[in-house]
Chain A
């Protein structure tokens, strides 16, 4: 049985390079899960011309109409597919296939200046038309329940996953001066400035601490802007900025004592947060979106308001209090195990079979 995964861009719009991000990582994990369950999978995405690329036996279709209109590209996708899985509710296809599945990666309109009403409407359209919406966190579900109570039953929560064989605590305890890591993409939602402002208050108090930012290189202009911004900082020499290939990330987490996830909006069950937890780091996260589903404050991390003073106090407390740090990291590691990838895959396989039937032909 063929299943088409629809998403913005698994590859760049010209089809030449993979795009690196949480959504794309989830897509590859989901492709694997669907294939294991017996589905034949292809991917449809936006392109700047019509193209087909095959990676690992998976046909990836670029739809060139996206250059003119994203909506038209979606129609082109609909013309070529039957069973659809909409991997991002933010794509707003407007018309959804019945008996389809839509994925919400968390509330995305919770930033000043966004049109709340329009975004809620687009969530409502997805909920009304699709068979089921899978949400990566409870927060999206709770917001929908508070706005459209009668639609909440269409949402199933499957939190994001972590590969606990790859992301695991260091064999021997971390020694040396404390390492504070910010492992996020350069996206305003991810709180780069909150982190830098917090670091500014800490550099003089903790002359031996290491502050590391591991950021992506997805977006040239954005990177250039960031470079010029940090070049002007008085404490520039205290912040190490690096780019780490995904396969080296687990090592980086094992080096870090404290990981900061200072998202200010649009956050689900963050993969970075889960990976830091599985690696036994002490996590400081904001109380935004799905982060509250991962961190129970004072138990397996510290949950704070997305404000500089709150984040800086939390980091400061963890630098001073090694005992607290150890206790939080132990519990973070233990609780991350319930987000292991095998569980995620089982829940997703059940969802696929519920909505699309059994690939062998039994069911719908």
Chain B
């Protein structure tokens, strides 16, 4: 009989089960499922939902558990029902670190997608010292319980090392991956050397933590001061109202664009771009957008947040800045006025991205799974 692996996540699908949230974590989930099937395991998923049953990829079920409470930023009820329903599995994967609180399978792995508590907004959820300590106590328990934690970046591992030094040894660094065949630099003969137009792309969701406000301001300054620059904001916002606001804003400014694209067109967008902005303010792992832009040979402008430091070295494979509009403008102007710098950084970015292949990700994950089982 095949070894059975049960996976618990919070939301692969929206809890209603209707719309699929297709971000980085969801792509990660699909690739992990494929790997486990290739390793000849039986795989089954659980998440928050109203007792529905769907398939995450053909043949692999995902079931909804109607537990939505999140006391202290954890989900103990979801954890408990999962433990009961998946009881005959041989091992479990907790797709988010805190989901392993309070009960864990003897053989288990959890996944950290990066630090997400590095902004003042966390105080809305943990409004006082006691609450914060309780949240930390639960997170510590979640980490202590599992056999192994896979982290997408070294920032999380080093935060754990600076918080509970002993627990850091549970962690393995397995950075995110990029599809190097889909994301490749534009061919030399495709570059129109007569054009002086420089395209800047912000390929993220239009949200505060991703730096939309700073990027918006920088776009205004840049397009007003330089007729050769255009800025494209490409990504959904939180809701329809925000998307309408963005669209109206873009419409009233020359050379500023706002739209969004399905995943399969993103590679084309990066080849169309010269400079890519990743001005994250918090909650970042080894960003897929950043990796894809790098694989496409773009000159990326990033901040120091979380896993970005695992991808970009300042002035070598990108430009690293503080998340302010002023710094974005300065870095962009340097790249606009320095085509050689842009080219050099873009070339190095592609070289670096080549070490983040899906194959390498799969073999590292496979080794960890074999160690745990």
Contact = CB atoms under 8 A, between A and B. Distances in A.
Interface of A: 107, 109-114, 116, 138-139, 141-143, 145-146, 149-150, 152-153, 156-157, 159, 265, 287-289, 292-293, 296-299, 303, 305-307, 331, 334-335, 337-338, 343
Interface stretch (B49-57, B177-185, B257-265, B306-314): B306-314
A287 B157 CA distance: 8
B168 A110 contact: yes
Contact of A142 (B169, B306, B315): B306
B155 interface: yes
Interface in B265-299: 282
Which 5 pairs show the lowest CB-CB distances between chains A and B?
A292-B154, A110-B161, A138-B309, A145-B118, A298-B355
B155 A142 contact: yes
Interface of B: 115, 117-120, 122, 154-155, 157-159, 161-166, 168-169, 171-173, 175, 282, 304-306, 309-311, 313-317, 322, 348, 351-352, 355, 360
B120 A150 contact: yes
B310 A305 contact: no
A296 B356 CA distance: 10
B158 A292 contact: yes
A149 B305 CA distance: 11
Contacts of A343: 315
Contacts of B316: 334-335, 337-338
A111 B304 contact: no
A162 to B, nearest CB: 13
A257 B247 CA distance: 56
Contacts of B282: 145, 149
A114 B117 CA distance: 23
A262 to B, nearest CB: 14
29 contacts: A110-B162, A112-B166, A113-B165, A116-B162, A116-B163, A116-B165, A138-B309, A139-B155, A139-B158, A139-B309, A141-B304, A143-B158, A145-B282, A287-B154, A287-B157, A288-B158, A289-B158, A292-B158, A293-B313, A296-B310, A296-B352, A297-B355, A305-B171, A306-B169, A307-B169, A335-B313, A338-B313, A338-B316, A343-B315
Contacts of B352: 296, 299
Contacts, number: 109
Contacts of B119: 145, 149
A216 B193 CA distance: 56
A303 B173 contact: yes
A157 B305 CA distance: 12
B357 to A, nearest CB: 9
A157 B351 contact: no
Nearest to B165: A112
Which residue, of A111, A139, A288, A289, has the highest number of chain B Cβ atoms within 10 A? A139
Contact of A149 (B120, B173, B348): B120
Contacts of B348: 334-335
Contacts of A296: 310-311, 313, 317, 352, 355
Contacts of B311: 296
A143 B162 contact: yes
Contact of A145 (B164, B165, B305): B305
A299 B355 contact: yes
B309 A293 contact: yes
A351 to B, nearest CB: 13
A83 to B, nearest CB: 24
Contacts of B305: 142, 145
A156 B322 CA distance: 8
B173 A109 contact: no
A298 B310 contact: no
B306 A299 contact: no
Contacts of A289: 158
Contacts of A107: 158, 161-162
Contacts of A307: 169
Contacts of B161: 107, 110, 265, 288
A15 B162 CA distance: 35
Given A141-B304, A146-B118, A338 B315 contact: yes
Given A288-B158, A299-B352, 16 more contacts: A110-B162, A111-B165, A114-B165, A139-B154, A139-B155, A142-B309, A145-B118, A149-B118, A149-B122, A153-B322, A265-B165, A288-B161, A292-B158, A305-B169, A305-B173, A343-B315
Contacts of A303: 154, 173
A139 B317 CA distance: 19
Nearest to A291: B154
A159 B171 CA distance: 25
Nearest to B357: A298
Contacts of B122: 149
Contacts of B175: 297
